[in-house]
């Protein structure tokens, strides 16, 4: 089985070894309750139809093509629905995380206790036994941080380190308000490194929507472009600030196959090399000169196409890339039961990889090793 | 010679067939004069040292790490210096274009006559014979448009079509002020298609710098990220507006290996597929479903790394990708004579391609075919 003989989605699922989904979200009841209580974005409101709708993206409520948000059904909060989704897609283990926008829009006094509650709830959910012996399902968790409070975030990390089913955190790029290259935010990275807890960096805010023009393009511009741009800006700022120089054992996982950082690796390197101040400030150029920054990171495989996924693996090594679904987002237009095209597209991207070892690794053994999962 | 035996820069230069640089800029004297007359960015001013300095990027004058712009030496405007650069780097033909920010910040009454002047000047420069028989150098041109005037741009295209050394235009993403998906700008695309004149889309404005945080990162964020993001936003808006559906023979060339559109092809496709309104509005999904949008475009090979260049060729076909240098930008830190590392890095990216045919094509035969060059 090689790219030339065209492996299929079914082939990938038949490969030995576990299938692990590292990018799969849930809105926990404690978080849903909080979002229901809000009058502003992010919020959940009851539409005239009686249906609950979720409006989460910045400015989403201002554009007529997106103001109604999206219906929020069981796939957003119900664990049994998540397990059913895993069953349908032959996923053995899921590393579940709170869905965006997490807690960075909250005052620290609200965010800190809510993070503690959510993380405990996640641990409880993940600690249960699911499925029978024939089709056992395993859940692990990535916790959340009250990032507007550095002290609260450090405490939350210490709390998470004591929970046997939690494997790190997932957070946005906002930090305490000035992004992840803010020197005041560094104690969070220091503590995560010290505790060996990976940090999954996930976009939410995108870039200013004035860039998107006047056409009614729904969520396409912000989700297809704004999200990966935000991730890329964030990791670039982290690199240029020297965070990876100071915390070389920090494990960062980048959403959506690294945003677009892998495609820009050469350009970024060239820009740094041609700026004497920055190239002297950094310990290494962020490119293929060994050892390198992008090769020290981890990535999900949520790229929806074989070409970028292959180039990511070419660049950083296939052993740093991990399957994900982004569930419950990108559901089928016609109901959530049955197989999701978005998931099969990501399986299909894996099917386009160089060889079976790469496919097995990305499908699950990488995640099991990187996140220490027992599957 | 295959990627496993590691072709080198020297190997690529020894391959038969022409070497063509499709991405190489010049600030023509008429444009330099205009920039000298300005008090605001973009402008050229004389520093206290007596040196001329160019400040062109939005906000560049506001940030202490970039306010002084860059020294503007002969490599910015002198044709002999361009020919010397071609000689040193074994480039047989260059398709020269005005450098950013072109004319989209000007009132139409200024821009239209200046465009006519610049285009005539470019034609004259390109029409001369350069080099002797042993090392003949050939120049072609991409003209500029007074994009704030649609009528003026249409006239400029007609003017360019009559010039025997001009091969299309190079322009920014601003259009007449609302971007390239502005319905009022469409006559420009219609005319370019009718005349068979390719349009090279090049970024300049980037994205709002508020995204880049407070660290002194010089030009890195705006050049490494803002530029490719702008190109990607622009081509996505063009696709979503249906421009490529209405002008299927339009030849668009994207700067810097397509910004990051090639890496996002799957994500863009998934976002469109999951939005009923947009997927119904477009004739085709922007992905690998055949025939596709990204495969109908052309790209330079200015990616500075083999991994993205390989993935671009995988995705769209190597026959749509053309070598470029981005001269006079990214000059060596220590003087402009001798070989430029930025150029060799782009040759090196070609050396990482699948096979010799791909390398030859990207090095020059693709450009000769696509732009009808006699080399």
- With beta carbons less than 8 A apart as the criterion, state whether B28 and B36 touch: no
Identify the segments of chain B with pLDDT beneath 50.
1-4, 288-291
Beta-strand relationship, B20-26 and B298-300: unpaired
Rounded Cα distance between A245 and A280, Å, is 13
Beta-strand relationship, A52-55 and A43-46: antiparallel
| A144-163 residue pLDDT tens | 999 999 999 999 999 999 99
- With beta carbons less than 8 A apart as the criterion, state whether B213 and A181 touch: yes
Q: Side-chain half-sphere of B215: how many Cα atoms within 13 Å?
A: 27
Query: How close is the nearest chain A Cα to the Cα of B259, in Å?
Result: 8
| A305-332 residue pLDDT tens | 999 999 999 999 999 999 999 999 999 9
Which residues in chain A are closer than 8 Å to B341, comparing Cβ atoms?
273
- Is B271 in Cβ contact with A223 (below 8 Å)? yes
- The dihedral of CA A122, A124, A127, A132: what is its sign? negative
- Is B211 in Cβ contact with A264 (below 8 Å)? no
Q: Please give the ipTM for the structure prediction.
A: 0.95
Which residues in chain B are closer than 8 Å to A236, comparing Cβ atoms?
220-221, 224-225
Query: For residue A69, what are the contacts with CB-CB under 8 A and spacing of at least 6?
Result: A45, A53, A54, A55, A56, A60, A61
| A332-355 residue pLDDT tens | 988 888 999 999 999 999 999 989
- With beta carbons less than 8 A apart as the criterion, state whether B113 and B107 touch: no
Which residues in chain B are closer than 8 Å to A277, comparing Cβ atoms?
65, 216, 218
Q: For domain B3-370, is the CATH number 3.40.50.970? A: no
pLDDT beyond 70 at A255: yes
Interface test mutation site (partner B, options A75, A175, A225, A286, max chain B beta carbons within 10 A) = A225
pLDDT beyond 50 at A226: yes
Mean pLDDT, chain A, rounded, equals 92
Query: How close is the nearest chain A Cα to the Cα of B113, in Å?
Result: 29
| A62-99 residue pLDDT tens | 877 778 888 888 999 999 999 999 999 999 999 999 99
pLDDT beyond 70 at A209: yes
- pLDDT score recorded for residue B2: 42
Q: Which helix (H) or strand (E) holds A82?
A: helix A79-88
Q: For chain B, what are the domain ranges? A: 3-370
What is the three-class DSSP state of A261? coil
Which residues in chain B are closer than 8 Å to A63, comparing Cβ atoms?
none
pLDDT beyond 60 at A3: no
B315 near A CB under 8 A: yes
- pLDDT score recorded for residue A48: 86
- Is B65 in Cβ contact with A263 (below 8 Å)? no
Q: Quick one: average pLDDT of A172-198?
A: 97
- Per the DSSP assignment, residues forming a β-bridge with A300 are A322
Superfamily of domain A3-30+83-370: Metal-dependent hydrolases (3.20.20.140)
- pLDDT score recorded for residue B364: 98
Which residues in chain A are closer than 8 Å to B185, comparing Cβ atoms?
none
Residues 200-259, chain A, touching B (beta carbon < 8 A): 207-208, 210-221, 223-225, 228-230, 232-233, 236-237, 240-241, 256-257
Query: For residue B254, what are the contacts with CB-CB under 8 A and spacing of at least 6?
Result: B200, B201, B231, B235, B261, B297, B298, B299, B300
Residues 158-187, chain B, touching A (beta carbon < 8 A): 178-179, 181-182
Rounded Cα distance between A300 and B154, Å, is 46
- With beta carbons less than 8 A apart as the criterion, state whether A299 and A361 touch: no
Chain A residue with CA closest to B262: the answer is A308
DSSP for A102-146, please give it: TTTTS-HHHHHHHHHHHHHHHHHHHHS-BS-GGG-BEEEEEE---
Interface test mutation site (partner B, options A59, A65, A213, A340, max chain B beta carbons within 10 A) = A213
Chain B residue with CA closest to A316: the answer is B307
Rounded Cα distance between A161 and A197, Å, is 7
Chain B residue with CA closest to A258: the answer is B263
- pLDDT score recorded for residue B291: 42
Q: What are phi and psi of A135, to 5 degrees?
A: -140, 60
Q: Match 């006699």 to its residue by tokens.
A: B374
Burial class (CB in 10 A: 0-12, 13-18, 19+), A71: middle
Which residues in chain A are closer than 8 Å to B315, comparing Cβ atoms?
305, 307
- pLDDT score recorded for residue B289: 43
Assign residue B251 a region (left: φ > 0; alpha: ψ between -120 and 50; beta: otherwise): beta
Query: How close is the nearest chain A Cα to the Cα of B320, in Å?
Result: 16
- pLDDT score recorded for residue A348: 95
- With beta carbons less than 8 A apart as the criterion, state whether B197 and B204 touch: no
Query: For residue A76, what are the contacts with CB-CB under 8 A and spacing of at least 6?
Result: A26, A27, A32, A54, A99, A328
- Is B342 in Cβ contact with A274 (below 8 Å)? yes
- Is A274 in Cβ contact with B333 (below 8 Å)? yes
């Amino acid at each position: 089985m090689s790219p030339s003989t065209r492996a299929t989605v079914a082939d990938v699922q038949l490969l030995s070894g576990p299938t692990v989904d590292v990018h799969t979200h849930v809105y926990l009841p404690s978080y849903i309750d909080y979002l229901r209580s809000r009058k502003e974005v992010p919020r959940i409101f009851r539409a005239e139809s009686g249906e609950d709708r979720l409006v989460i993206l910045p400015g989403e409520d201002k554009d007529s093509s997106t103001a109604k948000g999206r219906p929020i059904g069981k796939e957003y909060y119900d664990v049994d629905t998540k397990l059913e989704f895993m069953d349908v897609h032959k996923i053995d283990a899921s590393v579940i995380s709170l869905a965006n926008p997490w807690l960075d829009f909250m005052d620290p006094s609200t965010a800190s206790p809510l993070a503690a509650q959510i993380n405990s709830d996640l641990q409880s959910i993940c600690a249960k036994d699911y499925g029978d012996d024939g089709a056992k399902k395993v859940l692990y968790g990535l916790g959340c941080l009250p990032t507007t409070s550095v002290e609260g975030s450090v405490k939350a990390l210490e709390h998470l380190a004591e929970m046997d089913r939690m494997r790190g955190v997932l957070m946005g790029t906002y930090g305490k308000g000035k992004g992840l290259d803010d020197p005041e935010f560094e104690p969070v990275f220091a503590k995560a490194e010290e505790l060996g807890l990976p940090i999954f960096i996930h976009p939410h805010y995108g870039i200013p929507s004035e860039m998107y023009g006047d056409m009614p393009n729904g969520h396409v511009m912000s989700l297809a472009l704004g999200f990966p741009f935000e991730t890329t800006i964030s990791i670039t700022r982290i690199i240029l600030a020297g965070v990876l120089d100071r915390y070389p054992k920090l494990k960062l996982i980048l959403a959506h196959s690294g945003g677009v950082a892998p495609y820009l690796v050469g350009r970024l390197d060239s820009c740094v090399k041609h700026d004497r101040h920055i190239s002297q400030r950094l310990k290494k150029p962020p490119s293929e000169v060994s050892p390198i920054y992008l090769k020290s990171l981890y990535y999900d495989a949520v790229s929806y196409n074989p070409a970028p996924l292959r180039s990511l693996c070419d660049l950083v090594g296939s052993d740093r890339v991990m399957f994900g679904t982004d569930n419950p987002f990108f559901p089928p237009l016609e109901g959530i039961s049955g197989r999701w095209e978005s998931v099969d597209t990501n399986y299909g991207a894996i099917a386009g990889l160089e060889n079976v070892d790469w496919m097995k690794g990305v499908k699950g053994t990488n995640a099991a090793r990187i996140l220490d999962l027992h599957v």
